[in-house]
Amino acid sequence: MSENTGNAGFPLIGDPFPKMTVKTTHGELVLPDAYKGKWVVLFSHPGDFTPVCTTEFYSFSKMEEEFRAANTELIGLSIDQVFSHIKWVEWINEKMDTTIGFPVIADDQGNISKKLGMLHPGKGSNTVRAVFVIDPEGIVRLVIYYPQEIGRNMAEILRAVKALQVSDANKVAMPANWPNNELLGDKVIIPPPTTEADAKTRLDKFEGYDWWFTYKSLD
């Protein structure tokens, strides 16, 4: 695990997600303890009642069951008060005929956003579009930051979560665009050999382009 959490200004990949008590639209939660045993996608948005953020919440709501099928829970966050979150979620549900079932953190003092590096000096008090993927042991496994002007791709976030899960379960690496890689399809990459003897026999055991680039099917 990295020792740089404090110096970097936000938890890095491999760091424990910092323990914190948060106020949400579903009541008070202690993170990451409240979701032990589950994967979590924690995402911040610049503000309630804003167009791009509204489209993002709608998209997350439509994919929420897919995330849950992958043992993954969603949590939103912005520097707004809880009553604003409640009203905005109510508005989205009513106007767009959907159901947002995940909690939204009310970080009205900005303390959580500062701890997680979600504030950009050039963007005032609004949070950037940050994404933290946290594993079932409370470890940060992926961090993505988007500018305020660009909405996120929820299918890519779900793909990344599934790729991490497959990688963990099989001790393999995932090629670009997995499971639809242009070279390998849904096959996965074998970690490089660590000895000369292993390198010499690697192509006898697996498909590959060379001993350092081998792959296999998960079937």
Whether the per-residue pLDDT at 73 is higher than 60: the answer is yes
* 22, 40, 53, 118: the active-site residue: 53
Whole-number Å distance between alpha carbons of 6 and 3:
8
The pTM assigned to this predicted structure is 0.92
Q: Is 50 exceeded by the pLDDT of residue 3?
A: no
Res 122: pLDDT = 64
Helix (H, G, I), strand (E, B) or coil at 208: strand
What per-residue confidence (pLDDT) applies to 125?
64
Domains along the chain with CATH numbers? 5-152 (3.40.30.10), 171-219 (3.30.1020.10)
Q: What is the mean pLDDT of the chain?
A: 93
Give the mean model confidence (pLDDT) for residues 93-103: 97
Q: Is 164 a catalytic residue?
A: no
The sign of the torsion formed by the CA atoms of 21, 129, 37, 189 equals negative
- Residue range 104-152, pLDDT digits in tens: 999 998 899 989 988 876 666 678 899 999 999 999 999 999 988 899 9
The pLDDT of residue 119 is 83
Mean pLDDT to the nearest integer, 180-194? 97
Instruction: Kindly tell me the burial class for residue 133, based on how many C-beta atoms sit within 10 Å of its own C-beta (0-12, 13-18, 19 or more).
Output: buried
